[in-house]
Amino acid sequence: MGQWMDGFVARMEAQDKEALAGGGKERVEVQHGLGKLTARERIDTLVDSGSFKEFGSNVRDPSGWASTIRKPSACDGVVVGTATVSGRRIMVYSIDFTVMSGTIGDQGVWKIAELVQMAGQEQVPLFGMIDSAGSRLSFKRGSAGLNGMGQLLRNYCLYSGIIPQITMILGPCTGPMAQIATLSDVLIMNEATGFLWLGGKIETEEAGTADFHMTRSGQCDLIAGDDEEAIALAKQVFAFIPQNCWEKPTSIESDDDPDRREESLLTVMPDNPKFTYDMHEVIELIVDDGEFFELKEEFAPNIIIGLARFDGMVCGITASNPDELSGVMEPDSSDKYDKFMMFLDTFNIPLLTMSDTTAYPPGDKWERMGVIRHGAKNLHGYSNLTNPKVTVVLRRSYGGSNITMGCAKMGPDFIFAWPTVEFAPTGPESIVEAIFHKELAVAKEEGRYEEAYQGYLRPLKEGFSVLNMSRVYTTFYTVHAVIDPRDTRANIVRSLHASANKKETSLPRRRYVKPA
Protein backbone atom coordinates (compact mmCIF):
# COMPACT_ATOMS: atom_id res chain seq x y z
CA MET A 1 0.00 0.00 0.00
CA GLY A 2 1.37 3.39 -1.00
CA GLN A 3 2.01 6.23 1.43
CA TRP A 4 -0.69 8.31 -0.27
CA MET A 5 -3.35 5.59 0.34
CA ASP A 6 -2.09 5.00 3.89
CA GLY A 7 -3.31 8.42 4.91
CA PHE A 8 -6.84 7.82 3.65
CA VAL A 9 -7.05 4.39 5.27
CA ALA A 10 -5.80 5.81 8.57
CA ARG A 11 -8.47 8.54 8.47
CA MET A 12 -11.14 5.96 7.67
CA GLU A 13 -10.06 3.75 10.57
CA ALA A 14 -10.08 6.74 12.93
CA GLN A 15 -13.64 7.60 11.85
CA ASP A 16 -14.72 3.99 12.34
CA LYS A 17 -13.26 4.00 15.86
CA GLU A 18 -15.06 7.26 16.61
CA ALA A 19 -18.33 5.84 15.29
CA LEU A 20 -18.07 2.81 17.57
CA ALA A 21 -17.51 5.09 20.59
CA GLY A 22 -20.89 6.77 20.17
CA GLY A 23 -21.32 9.68 22.56
CA GLY A 24 -18.30 8.66 24.61
CA LYS A 25 -17.53 6.54 27.65
CA GLU A 26 -19.34 8.76 30.16
CA ARG A 27 -22.54 8.83 28.12
CA VAL A 28 -22.41 5.06 27.71
CA GLU A 29 -22.12 4.67 31.48
CA VAL A 30 -25.18 6.90 31.95
CA GLN A 31 -27.08 4.77 29.43
CA HIS A 32 -26.20 1.59 31.31
CA GLY A 33 -27.09 3.28 34.59
CA LEU A 34 -30.61 3.83 33.24
CA GLY A 35 -30.88 0.10 32.60
CA LYS A 36 -30.64 0.53 28.84
CA LEU A 37 -28.38 -1.06 26.25
CA THR A 38 -26.52 1.16 23.81
CA ALA A 39 -27.66 1.39 20.19
CA ARG A 40 -24.99 -1.06 19.02
CA GLU A 41 -25.57 -3.46 21.90
CA ARG A 42 -29.23 -3.57 20.93
CA ILE A 43 -28.36 -4.46 17.36
CA ASP A 44 -25.91 -7.12 18.51
CA THR A 45 -28.64 -8.63 20.72
CA LEU A 46 -31.13 -8.71 17.85
CA VAL A 47 -29.10 -10.00 14.91
CA ASP A 48 -27.11 -13.12 14.16
CA SER A 49 -23.52 -12.85 15.37
CA GLY A 50 -21.24 -11.13 12.85
CA SER A 51 -24.04 -10.49 10.34
CA PHE A 52 -24.45 -6.72 10.79
CA LYS A 53 -23.13 -4.55 7.96
CA GLU A 54 -23.37 -0.85 8.73
CA PHE A 55 -24.20 1.98 6.34
CA GLY A 56 -23.53 5.68 6.78
CA SER A 57 -21.14 5.47 9.73
CA ASN A 58 -19.07 8.43 8.49
CA VAL A 59 -21.76 11.10 8.76
CA ARG A 60 -21.73 13.67 11.54
CA ASP A 61 -23.94 16.56 12.64
CA PRO A 62 -23.28 19.28 10.01
CA SER A 63 -24.12 22.09 12.40
CA GLY A 64 -21.10 21.09 14.48
CA TRP A 65 -18.82 22.84 11.99
CA ALA A 66 -20.26 26.21 12.89
CA SER A 67 -21.07 25.57 16.56
CA THR A 68 -19.04 26.93 19.44
CA ILE A 69 -20.03 23.88 21.52
CA ARG A 70 -18.61 20.73 19.96
CA LYS A 71 -20.35 17.51 21.00
CA PRO A 72 -19.64 14.01 19.72
CA SER A 73 -22.04 13.26 16.87
CA ALA A 74 -20.93 9.79 15.80
CA CYS A 75 -23.09 8.54 12.91
CA ASP A 76 -25.28 11.59 13.60
CA GLY A 77 -26.84 9.54 16.37
CA VAL A 78 -28.32 6.78 14.22
CA VAL A 79 -26.80 3.34 13.54
CA VAL A 80 -28.27 1.67 10.44
CA GLY A 81 -27.49 -1.36 8.33
CA THR A 82 -28.38 -4.81 7.11
CA ALA A 83 -28.10 -8.10 8.99
CA THR A 84 -29.75 -11.47 9.46
CA VAL A 85 -32.04 -12.73 12.21
CA SER A 86 -32.30 -16.54 12.37
CA GLY A 87 -30.67 -16.55 8.95
CA ARG A 88 -33.27 -14.23 7.40
CA ARG A 89 -32.18 -10.92 5.88
CA ILE A 90 -33.44 -7.71 7.54
CA MET A 91 -32.76 -3.98 7.66
CA VAL A 92 -32.32 -2.38 11.08
CA TYR A 93 -31.80 1.05 12.62
CA SER A 94 -31.05 1.94 16.22
CA ILE A 95 -31.12 5.51 17.53
CA ASP A 96 -28.17 6.29 19.81
CA PHE A 97 -29.23 8.12 22.97
CA THR A 98 -25.58 8.63 23.95
CA VAL A 99 -25.26 11.06 21.03
CA MET A 100 -27.05 14.30 21.92
CA SER A 101 -29.85 12.39 23.68
CA GLY A 102 -30.77 10.60 20.47
CA THR A 103 -32.13 13.78 18.89
CA ILE A 104 -32.85 13.39 15.19
CA GLY A 105 -30.65 15.56 12.99
CA ASP A 106 -30.25 16.29 9.29
CA GLN A 107 -28.08 13.29 8.45
CA GLY A 108 -29.68 10.79 10.84
CA VAL A 109 -33.21 11.28 9.54
CA TRP A 110 -32.12 10.80 5.94
CA LYS A 111 -30.24 7.64 6.90
CA ILE A 112 -33.39 6.12 8.33
CA ALA A 113 -35.56 7.36 5.43
CA GLU A 114 -33.26 5.76 2.87
CA LEU A 115 -32.98 2.55 4.90
CA VAL A 116 -36.79 2.21 4.85
CA GLN A 117 -36.73 2.66 1.08
CA MET A 118 -33.95 0.09 0.73
CA ALA A 119 -35.88 -2.40 2.86
CA GLY A 120 -38.98 -1.84 0.72
CA GLN A 121 -37.12 -2.24 -2.54
CA GLU A 122 -35.18 -5.28 -1.33
CA GLN A 123 -38.42 -6.63 0.18
CA VAL A 124 -36.98 -7.46 3.58
CA PRO A 125 -38.44 -6.73 7.05
CA LEU A 126 -37.55 -3.52 8.84
CA PHE A 127 -36.67 -3.33 12.54
CA GLY A 128 -36.46 0.00 14.33
CA MET A 129 -35.20 0.69 17.86
CA ILE A 130 -36.09 4.18 19.08
CA ASP A 131 -34.49 5.99 22.00
CA SER A 132 -34.76 9.66 21.07
CA ALA A 133 -35.54 12.99 22.74
CA GLY A 134 -37.12 14.21 19.49
CA SER A 135 -36.04 16.53 16.68
CA ARG A 136 -32.68 18.27 17.11
CA LEU A 137 -32.69 22.04 17.36
CA SER A 138 -29.96 24.27 15.98
CA PHE A 139 -29.55 27.95 16.88
CA LYS A 140 -28.42 28.63 13.32
CA ARG A 141 -30.77 26.33 11.40
CA GLY A 142 -33.86 25.88 13.54
CA SER A 143 -35.38 22.39 13.69
CA ALA A 144 -33.19 20.00 11.78
CA GLY A 145 -34.29 17.51 9.19
CA LEU A 146 -37.85 18.61 8.38
CA ASN A 147 -37.62 17.53 4.75
CA GLY A 148 -35.96 14.31 5.82
CA MET A 149 -38.68 13.66 8.38
CA GLY A 150 -41.34 14.16 5.74
CA GLN A 151 -39.58 11.64 3.50
CA LEU A 152 -39.18 9.20 6.39
CA LEU A 153 -42.87 9.31 7.26
CA ARG A 154 -43.83 8.97 3.61
CA ASN A 155 -41.55 5.96 3.14
CA TYR A 156 -43.07 4.22 6.15
CA CYS A 157 -46.49 4.73 4.57
CA LEU A 158 -45.42 3.79 1.04
CA TYR A 159 -43.88 0.48 2.09
CA SER A 160 -46.58 -0.38 4.62
CA GLY A 161 -48.12 -3.68 3.58
CA ILE A 162 -45.12 -4.54 1.42
CA ILE A 163 -42.62 -5.35 4.18
CA PRO A 164 -43.20 -6.08 7.89
CA GLN A 165 -42.29 -3.11 10.08
CA ILE A 166 -41.46 -3.90 13.71
CA THR A 167 -40.62 -1.04 16.07
CA MET A 168 -39.29 -1.10 19.63
CA ILE A 169 -39.55 1.97 21.87
CA LEU A 170 -36.70 1.55 24.34
CA GLY A 171 -36.50 5.12 25.59
CA PRO A 172 -38.29 8.38 24.78
CA CYS A 173 -40.07 8.72 21.45
CA THR A 174 -41.64 12.13 20.92
CA GLY A 175 -42.78 14.49 18.19
CA PRO A 176 -42.84 13.18 14.61
CA MET A 177 -41.02 9.97 15.61
CA ALA A 178 -44.13 9.05 17.61
CA GLN A 179 -45.95 8.77 14.28
CA ILE A 180 -43.31 6.35 13.04
CA ALA A 181 -44.03 4.08 15.98
CA THR A 182 -47.76 3.97 15.33
CA LEU A 183 -47.32 3.49 11.58
CA SER A 184 -45.49 0.25 12.29
CA ASP A 185 -47.15 -3.17 12.09
CA VAL A 186 -46.06 -4.20 15.57
CA LEU A 187 -45.05 -1.84 18.39
CA ILE A 188 -43.15 -3.09 21.44
CA MET A 189 -42.41 -0.85 24.44
CA ASN A 190 -39.94 -1.19 27.30
CA GLU A 191 -42.08 -0.84 30.41
CA ALA A 192 -39.26 0.70 32.45
CA THR A 193 -37.83 3.22 29.98
CA GLY A 194 -40.19 3.53 27.00
CA PHE A 195 -42.12 6.78 26.58
CA LEU A 196 -44.34 7.66 23.61
CA TRP A 197 -45.82 11.14 23.27
CA LEU A 198 -46.68 13.29 20.27
CA GLY A 199 -46.61 16.63 22.11
CA GLY A 200 -48.42 18.96 24.45
CA LYS A 201 -48.93 19.02 28.19
CA ILE A 202 -48.54 15.83 30.18
CA GLU A 203 -51.25 15.78 32.83
CA THR A 204 -50.87 12.41 34.55
CA GLU A 205 -47.94 10.27 35.67
CA GLU A 206 -48.94 7.37 33.48
CA ALA A 207 -49.27 9.44 30.30
CA GLY A 208 -46.94 8.22 27.58
CA THR A 209 -45.91 5.06 29.43
CA ALA A 210 -46.11 1.55 28.05
CA ASP A 211 -49.07 0.79 30.30
CA PHE A 212 -50.87 3.93 29.10
CA HIS A 213 -50.45 2.96 25.45
CA MET A 214 -51.43 -0.67 26.08
CA THR A 215 -54.53 -0.08 28.20
CA ARG A 216 -55.71 3.39 27.11
CA SER A 217 -54.66 4.34 23.59
CA GLY A 218 -54.25 0.80 22.25
CA GLN A 219 -51.14 1.78 20.28
CA CYS A 220 -48.79 -0.66 22.04
CA ASP A 221 -48.89 -4.33 21.04
CA LEU A 222 -46.42 -5.83 23.52
CA ILE A 223 -44.78 -4.70 26.77
CA ALA A 224 -41.31 -5.82 27.85
CA GLY A 225 -39.54 -5.51 31.17
CA ASP A 226 -36.21 -4.43 29.65
CA ASP A 227 -34.37 -4.04 26.35
CA GLU A 228 -33.41 -7.71 26.14
CA GLU A 229 -37.00 -8.85 26.59
CA ALA A 230 -38.26 -6.33 24.02
CA ILE A 231 -35.79 -7.67 21.47
CA ALA A 232 -36.73 -11.26 22.33
CA LEU A 233 -40.41 -10.41 21.74
CA ALA A 234 -39.53 -8.85 18.38
CA LYS A 235 -37.83 -12.10 17.39
CA GLN A 236 -40.91 -14.07 18.43
CA VAL A 237 -43.13 -11.90 16.24
CA PHE A 238 -40.64 -12.24 13.39
CA ALA A 239 -40.88 -16.05 13.55
CA PHE A 240 -44.58 -15.88 12.61
CA ILE A 241 -44.33 -13.55 9.59
CA PRO A 242 -42.87 -13.79 6.08
CA GLN A 243 -40.22 -11.57 4.50
CA ASN A 244 -42.74 -9.55 2.52
CA CYS A 245 -46.29 -9.49 1.21
CA TRP A 246 -45.46 -11.79 -1.71
CA GLU A 247 -44.32 -14.68 0.46
CA LYS A 248 -46.04 -16.92 2.99
CA PRO A 249 -44.96 -17.52 6.58
CA THR A 250 -42.79 -20.57 7.14
CA SER A 251 -44.40 -23.73 8.46
CA ILE A 252 -42.44 -25.90 10.89
CA GLU A 253 -42.53 -29.53 11.96
CA SER A 254 -44.89 -30.07 14.88
CA ASP A 255 -44.98 -32.96 17.33
CA ASP A 256 -48.52 -32.06 18.39
CA ASP A 257 -51.05 -34.50 16.89
CA PRO A 258 -53.18 -32.59 14.35
CA ASP A 259 -56.16 -34.85 15.20
CA ARG A 260 -55.78 -34.45 18.95
CA ARG A 261 -59.15 -34.58 20.75
CA GLU A 262 -59.62 -32.38 23.77
CA GLU A 263 -62.06 -33.79 26.32
CA SER A 264 -61.67 -30.62 28.38
CA LEU A 265 -63.54 -28.63 25.72
CA LEU A 266 -66.76 -30.30 26.86
CA THR A 267 -66.53 -28.57 30.24
CA VAL A 268 -65.04 -25.16 29.41
CA MET A 269 -68.43 -23.59 28.75
CA PRO A 270 -70.80 -23.19 31.74
CA ASP A 271 -74.19 -24.91 31.62
CA ASN A 272 -76.01 -21.64 32.31
CA PRO A 273 -75.70 -19.29 29.28
CA LYS A 274 -75.86 -16.31 31.65
CA PHE A 275 -72.45 -17.27 33.01
CA THR A 276 -69.20 -16.40 31.28
CA TYR A 277 -65.99 -18.25 30.49
CA ASP A 278 -62.53 -17.24 29.35
CA MET A 279 -61.91 -17.88 25.63
CA HIS A 280 -58.17 -18.13 26.35
CA GLU A 281 -58.87 -21.58 27.79
CA VAL A 282 -60.34 -22.76 24.50
CA ILE A 283 -57.52 -21.27 22.43
CA GLU A 284 -54.79 -22.86 24.52
CA LEU A 285 -56.46 -26.28 24.21
CA ILE A 286 -56.56 -26.26 20.40
CA VAL A 287 -53.31 -24.60 19.24
CA ASP A 288 -49.99 -26.43 18.87
CA ASP A 289 -48.50 -27.21 22.28
CA GLY A 290 -50.85 -24.69 23.93
CA GLU A 291 -48.65 -21.81 22.75
CA PHE A 292 -50.57 -18.62 21.93
CA PHE A 293 -48.72 -15.35 21.28
CA GLU A 294 -51.22 -12.66 22.23
CA LEU A 295 -51.08 -9.02 21.10
CA LYS A 296 -52.70 -5.98 22.76
CA GLU A 297 -53.64 -8.23 25.67
CA GLU A 298 -54.84 -5.48 27.98
CA PHE A 299 -56.54 -3.25 25.40
CA ALA A 300 -60.22 -3.99 24.66
CA PRO A 301 -59.89 -7.46 26.25
CA ASN A 302 -63.42 -8.34 25.08
CA ILE A 303 -61.73 -9.39 21.85
CA ILE A 304 -58.56 -11.48 21.73
CA ILE A 305 -55.99 -11.28 18.94
CA GLY A 306 -52.73 -13.16 18.50
CA LEU A 307 -50.64 -15.67 16.61
CA ALA A 308 -50.30 -19.43 16.94
CA ARG A 309 -49.61 -22.57 14.93
CA PHE A 310 -51.78 -25.49 13.90
CA ASP A 311 -49.84 -28.55 12.77
CA GLY A 312 -46.87 -26.20 12.32
CA MET A 313 -48.81 -23.73 10.13
CA VAL A 314 -48.93 -20.08 11.21
CA CYS A 315 -52.43 -18.75 11.91
CA GLY A 316 -53.80 -15.51 13.31
CA ILE A 317 -56.63 -15.80 15.82
CA THR A 318 -59.37 -13.29 16.63
CA ALA A 319 -61.80 -14.37 19.29
CA SER A 320 -64.68 -12.92 21.27
CA ASN A 321 -64.04 -13.19 25.00
CA PRO A 322 -67.32 -13.70 26.90
CA ASP A 323 -65.40 -13.13 30.14
CA GLU A 324 -65.00 -9.42 29.27
CA LEU A 325 -68.11 -7.31 28.59
CA SER A 326 -69.81 -10.50 27.30
CA GLY A 327 -67.57 -10.29 24.23
CA VAL A 328 -69.43 -7.30 22.77
CA MET A 329 -68.07 -5.46 19.73
CA GLU A 330 -67.56 -1.89 20.95
CA PRO A 331 -65.40 0.80 19.23
CA ASP A 332 -62.02 -0.14 20.76
CA SER A 333 -62.40 -3.85 20.07
CA SER A 334 -63.51 -3.05 16.51
CA ASP A 335 -60.34 -1.01 15.91
CA LYS A 336 -58.19 -3.75 17.44
CA TYR A 337 -59.84 -6.38 15.24
CA ASP A 338 -59.61 -4.22 12.12
CA LYS A 339 -55.86 -3.58 12.13
CA PHE A 340 -55.04 -7.17 13.00
CA MET A 341 -57.10 -8.70 10.21
CA MET A 342 -55.51 -6.28 7.73
CA PHE A 343 -52.06 -7.31 8.98
CA LEU A 344 -52.89 -11.00 8.52
CA ASP A 345 -54.28 -10.54 5.04
CA THR A 346 -51.29 -8.42 3.98
CA PHE A 347 -48.78 -11.10 4.93
CA ASN A 348 -50.75 -14.15 3.77
CA ILE A 349 -51.48 -15.41 7.27
CA PRO A 350 -54.74 -17.39 7.66
CA LEU A 351 -57.41 -16.01 10.00
CA LEU A 352 -59.26 -18.13 12.54
CA THR A 353 -62.28 -16.33 13.99
CA MET A 354 -63.84 -17.72 17.18
CA SER A 355 -67.19 -16.15 17.88
CA ASP A 356 -69.34 -16.00 21.01
CA THR A 357 -70.78 -12.53 21.27
CA THR A 358 -74.02 -10.74 22.05
CA ALA A 359 -73.35 -8.23 19.25
CA TYR A 360 -72.90 -4.48 19.48
CA PRO A 361 -73.77 -2.66 22.71
CA PRO A 362 -76.92 -0.53 22.44
CA GLY A 363 -77.57 2.91 23.80
CA ASP A 364 -76.71 6.59 23.58
CA LYS A 365 -73.25 6.21 25.15
CA TRP A 366 -72.04 3.83 22.46
CA GLU A 367 -73.73 5.65 19.59
CA ARG A 368 -71.89 8.83 20.58
CA MET A 369 -68.63 6.88 20.58
CA GLY A 370 -69.27 5.87 16.96
CA VAL A 371 -70.11 2.22 17.43
CA ILE A 372 -71.74 2.15 13.98
CA ARG A 373 -68.78 3.47 11.99
CA HIS A 374 -66.26 1.41 13.97
CA GLY A 375 -68.28 -1.71 13.30
CA ALA A 376 -68.54 -0.75 9.64
CA LYS A 377 -64.72 -0.83 9.44
CA ASN A 378 -64.83 -4.50 10.36
CA LEU A 379 -67.49 -5.28 7.79
CA HIS A 380 -65.51 -3.46 5.14
CA GLY A 381 -62.25 -5.08 6.18
CA TYR A 382 -63.48 -8.66 6.41
CA SER A 383 -65.31 -8.40 3.08
CA ASN A 384 -62.04 -7.58 1.33
CA LEU A 385 -59.84 -10.27 2.90
CA THR A 386 -58.30 -12.74 0.47
CA ASN A 387 -56.35 -14.91 2.93
CA PRO A 388 -57.64 -18.31 4.12
CA LYS A 389 -60.41 -17.83 6.69
CA VAL A 390 -61.93 -20.30 9.14
CA THR A 391 -64.74 -19.49 11.58
CA VAL A 392 -65.79 -21.42 14.67
CA VAL A 393 -68.95 -20.28 16.46
CA LEU A 394 -69.18 -21.56 20.03
CA ARG A 395 -72.36 -20.30 21.71
CA ARG A 396 -74.05 -16.99 20.91
CA SER A 397 -73.98 -15.23 17.59
CA TYR A 398 -76.43 -12.36 17.70
CA GLY A 399 -77.21 -9.42 15.49
CA GLY A 400 -74.64 -7.65 13.34
CA SER A 401 -71.73 -9.28 15.13
CA ASN A 402 -72.71 -12.57 13.51
CA ILE A 403 -71.72 -11.02 10.20
CA THR A 404 -68.73 -9.05 11.50
CA MET A 405 -67.17 -12.14 13.08
CA GLY A 406 -66.90 -14.02 9.83
CA CYS A 407 -70.19 -15.87 9.71
CA ALA A 408 -73.09 -15.95 7.25
CA LYS A 409 -72.07 -14.92 3.71
CA MET A 410 -69.01 -12.77 4.46
CA GLY A 411 -66.66 -15.09 2.61
CA PRO A 412 -64.99 -17.41 5.11
CA ASP A 413 -63.74 -20.63 3.56
CA PHE A 414 -65.02 -22.86 6.35
CA ILE A 415 -67.57 -22.27 9.13
CA PHE A 416 -68.08 -24.66 12.02
CA ALA A 417 -70.47 -24.48 14.95
CA TRP A 418 -70.57 -26.18 18.29
CA PRO A 419 -73.98 -27.74 19.00
CA THR A 420 -74.52 -25.08 21.68
CA VAL A 421 -74.76 -22.27 19.10
CA GLU A 422 -77.72 -19.92 18.83
CA PHE A 423 -78.03 -17.70 15.77
CA ALA A 424 -80.43 -14.83 16.33
CA PRO A 425 -81.09 -11.25 15.19
CA THR A 426 -80.75 -10.24 18.85
CA GLY A 427 -80.71 -12.01 22.20
CA PRO A 428 -83.79 -14.25 22.69
CA GLU A 429 -84.25 -12.72 26.14
CA SER A 430 -84.58 -9.25 24.60
CA ILE A 431 -87.10 -10.53 22.07
CA VAL A 432 -89.27 -12.09 24.79
CA GLU A 433 -89.21 -8.91 26.87
CA ALA A 434 -90.04 -6.75 23.83
CA ILE A 435 -92.88 -8.88 22.40
CA PHE A 436 -94.47 -10.30 25.54
CA HIS A 437 -94.01 -7.42 27.97
CA LYS A 438 -97.76 -7.08 28.62
CA GLU A 439 -98.22 -10.80 29.21
CA LEU A 440 -95.18 -10.85 31.49
CA ALA A 441 -96.53 -7.90 33.47
CA VAL A 442 -99.76 -9.80 34.11
CA ALA A 443 -97.82 -12.97 35.02
CA LYS A 444 -95.74 -10.97 37.49
CA GLU A 445 -98.87 -9.68 39.23
CA GLU A 446 -100.17 -13.25 39.43
CA GLY A 447 -96.89 -14.52 40.89
CA ARG A 448 -95.94 -16.75 37.94
CA TYR A 449 -93.43 -14.54 36.13
CA GLU A 450 -90.58 -17.04 35.86
CA GLU A 451 -92.89 -19.79 34.56
CA ALA A 452 -94.34 -17.48 31.90
CA TYR A 453 -90.93 -16.06 30.97
CA GLN A 454 -89.41 -19.49 30.45
CA GLY A 455 -92.49 -20.60 28.55
CA TYR A 456 -91.96 -17.86 25.97
CA LEU A 457 -88.14 -18.14 25.96
CA ARG A 458 -87.74 -21.91 25.61
CA PRO A 459 -89.33 -22.35 22.15
CA LEU A 460 -87.59 -19.24 20.89
CA LYS A 461 -84.17 -20.54 21.91
CA GLU A 462 -85.00 -23.89 20.35
CA GLY A 463 -85.88 -22.14 17.12
CA PHE A 464 -82.58 -20.24 17.11
CA SER A 465 -80.52 -23.35 17.87
CA VAL A 466 -78.11 -24.36 15.11
CA LEU A 467 -79.36 -27.93 15.46
CA ASN A 468 -82.80 -26.84 14.20
CA MET A 469 -81.64 -24.79 11.23
CA SER A 470 -80.91 -27.39 8.57
CA ARG A 471 -84.03 -26.39 6.65
CA VAL A 472 -82.76 -22.84 6.16
CA TYR A 473 -79.14 -23.63 5.30
CA THR A 474 -78.75 -21.28 2.34
CA THR A 475 -81.26 -18.56 3.12
CA PHE A 476 -80.66 -17.73 6.76
CA TYR A 477 -77.59 -18.61 8.86
CA THR A 478 -74.96 -20.89 7.38
CA VAL A 479 -72.49 -23.35 8.84
CA HIS A 480 -70.69 -26.07 6.96
CA ALA A 481 -70.90 -28.47 9.86
CA VAL A 482 -71.99 -28.74 13.47
CA ILE A 483 -69.00 -30.34 15.20
CA ASP A 484 -68.21 -32.10 18.43
CA PRO A 485 -66.28 -29.51 20.50
CA ARG A 486 -63.59 -32.12 21.15
CA ASP A 487 -62.79 -32.19 17.43
CA THR A 488 -62.35 -28.43 17.07
CA ARG A 489 -58.58 -28.64 16.56
CA ALA A 490 -58.83 -31.39 13.96
CA ASN A 491 -61.40 -29.47 11.93
CA ILE A 492 -59.31 -26.29 12.00
CA VAL A 493 -56.16 -28.14 10.94
CA ARG A 494 -57.92 -29.85 8.03
CA SER A 495 -59.41 -26.54 6.92
CA LEU A 496 -56.04 -24.75 6.99
CA HIS A 497 -54.46 -27.54 4.95
CA ALA A 498 -57.34 -27.46 2.47
CA SER A 499 -57.06 -23.68 1.97
CA ALA A 500 -53.26 -23.47 2.00
CA ASN A 501 -53.09 -22.90 -1.77
CA LYS A 502 -56.20 -20.77 -1.99
CA LYS A 503 -56.29 -18.21 -4.81
CA GLU A 504 -58.55 -15.23 -4.23
CA THR A 505 -58.06 -11.71 -5.52
CA SER A 506 -59.75 -8.42 -4.76
CA LEU A 507 -62.04 -6.81 -7.30
CA PRO A 508 -60.14 -4.42 -9.60
CA ARG A 509 -60.28 -0.80 -8.44
CA ARG A 510 -58.00 2.13 -7.74
CA ARG A 511 -58.54 1.72 -4.00
CA TYR A 512 -61.38 1.26 -1.56
CA VAL A 513 -62.69 3.86 0.87
CA LYS A 514 -62.92 2.51 4.41
CA PRO A 515 -65.37 4.07 6.89
CA ALA A 516 -63.66 6.71 9.05
| pLDDT at position 320 | 95
State yes or no: pLDDT of 394 exceeds 70: yes
CA distances 400 to 340, 376, 425, 509, Å, are 20, 10, 8, 27
Q: What share of the chain is helix, strand, coil (3-state, %, to 5)?
A: 40, 20, 40
What is the phi/psi pair of residue 221, to 5°?
A: -95, -35
Q: What are the pLDDT digits (tens) for 182-223?
A: 999 999 999 999 999 998 888 888 999 999 999 999 999 999
Q: Is 3.90.226.10 the CATH number for 263-421+465-498?
A: yes
Q: What is the CB-side half-sphere exposure of residue 373 using CA atoms within 13 A?
A: 8
State yes or no: pLDDT of 478 exceeds 80: no
What single string gives the DSSP state of each residue in 349-403? Answer: --EEEEEEE--SPPSHHHHHTTHHHHHHHHHHHHHT--S-EEEEEEEEEEHHHHH
| pLDDT at position 70 | 63
Q: What are the pLDDT digits (tens) for 333-390?
A: 999 999 999 999 999 999 999 999 888 888 899 999 999 999 899 999 999 999 999 9
Residues paired with residue 23 on neighbouring β-strands, in sequence order: none
What is the phi/psi pair of residue 135, to 5°?
A: -75, 140
What is the DSSP-derived secondary structure letter of residue 209? S
- Homologous superfamily, domain 3-61+69-240: 2-enoyl-CoA Hydratase; Chain A, domain 1 (3.90.226.10)
| CB-based burial label for 122 (10 Å; 0-12, 13-18, 19+) | middle
Q: What are the pLDDT digits (tens) for 36-95?
A: 999 999 999 999 999 999 998 888 877 654 444 467 788 889 999 999 999 999 999 999
Residues paired with residue 24 on neighbouring β-strands, in sequence order: none
State yes or no: pLDDT of 402 exceeds 50: yes
| pLDDT at position 474 | 45
